[in-house]
Amino acid sequence: MRTLSILGATGSIGSSTLDLVRRNRKDWRVVALSANRNVEALAALAREFAIEVAVVADEACLPALREALAGSGIEAAGGAQALVEAAARGADMTIAAIVGCAGLAPTMAAIEQGGLIGLANKEALVSAGGIMTAAVTRTGATLLPVDSEHNAIFQCLQGNCSRDVRSITLTASGGPFRDWSSAQLAAATPAQAVRHPNWDMGAKISVDSATMFNKGLELIEAYYLFPVRLDALRIVVHPQSIVHSMVEYRDGSTLAQLGPSDMRVPIASVLAWPARMETPCDPLDLAAIGQLTFFAPDEDRFPATRLARAAAEAGGAMPAVLNAANEIAVEAFLRGQIAFTRIAAEVEHVLETFAPCAPQTLDEVLAVDAEARRRALALMPCG
């Protein structure tokens, strides 16, 4: 039996992970769970899995969590520092699934323990890629990608030599607006943006999928995770979300990983690595699917991938600036403050007006993140 901590237990990744754990109780002992402010769900999970510590990121929710766990013997904690301390307790595996840059410090604390890290927080690696990968090397931690695209690449690279890789292709569903005109995009509502055609995801990542910023962030993440040049990373729109990514080798062979649009598949790959485990997912029926289609992304209607590639090429602090500005713009869109098409425009403005020095420490990354957020907020109506 191995120990497991889940940072972000009540979100889609955390829920899918715990579904697999329920089906394999003999293999896992859950020791720590965290949530943002969903006290009721967190307390129920804490009691179900008899964990050691439950942490709520919003410290104002801590009294409610303590009351919900009264008499259980489970420790309740709250706030950003409590998240870091829970991650630093150490577990055989930590699933890092806190959305946004808020997950950076806890993920780094888990890496410092030198164990297995199932990384589902792309924003952390985008914002602090060099610092995070250096910490992985120094501590001997193992970083396993949970995102379906990066997990697919990881699987396609297994047993092959990195110098034989010619290119890596990330697939994108194109989101709910892939066929919309520019005029339609300008009028898109938050309710429409979070209605993803293939995946069941949280609001932020669903909007990122609709803008294609999700794929831009994944391109930067892939640059840090895999040993390829930036110009060897490609993006192709694949509406069916069956092929999750592809790796092309110098002999002309291309390996692809296929699977259903269910995050339990890549999560199972990580939990069982280097072996395999059963999942409740239905097997692919390619005959029923009928056809798989692919086309190039439209960077005029969806400039996010162009902005992300430019930020990656600039390097230094620019990926962190891109991520922070996007988080603020997405929040503003979800609150109805700005139009859908303004998300990329606001991010581009921050990138053009803020070019800080490359951060060398985690504190410097967080300082860049804070200033980029301040500048993005200043652009928002009533911001």
Known binding positions: 10-13, 37-38, 121-123, 147-149, 173, 196, 202, 209, 214-215, 218
Local structure of residue 102 (DSSP, 8 states):
G
Query: Which amino acid makes up residue 202?
Result: G
- Residues within the annotated binding site for 1-deoxy-D-xylulose 5-phosphate? 122, 148-149, 173, 196, 209, 214-215, 218
Query: Which amino acid makes up residue 254?
Result: T
Cis geometry, peptide bond prior to residue 274 (ω within 30 degrees of 0): yes
Q: Please tell me the distance from the alpha carbon of residue 266 to that of residue 199, in angstroms, as a whole number.
A: 13
Q: Are 177 and 188 in contact (CB under 8 A)?
A: yes
> Which residues make Cβ contacts (< 8 Å) with residue 262, sequence separation at least 6?
16, 279, 281
- Residues within the annotated binding site for Mn(2+)? 147, 149, 218
Residue from 239, 236, 344 nearest 298 by CA: 236
**Burial annotation 139-153 (CB, 10 A radius, 16+ → b, else e):** eebebbbbbbbbbbb
- Residues within the annotated binding site for NADPH? 10-13, 37-38, 121, 123, 202
Residue from 252, 242, 83, 99 nearest 165 by CA: 252
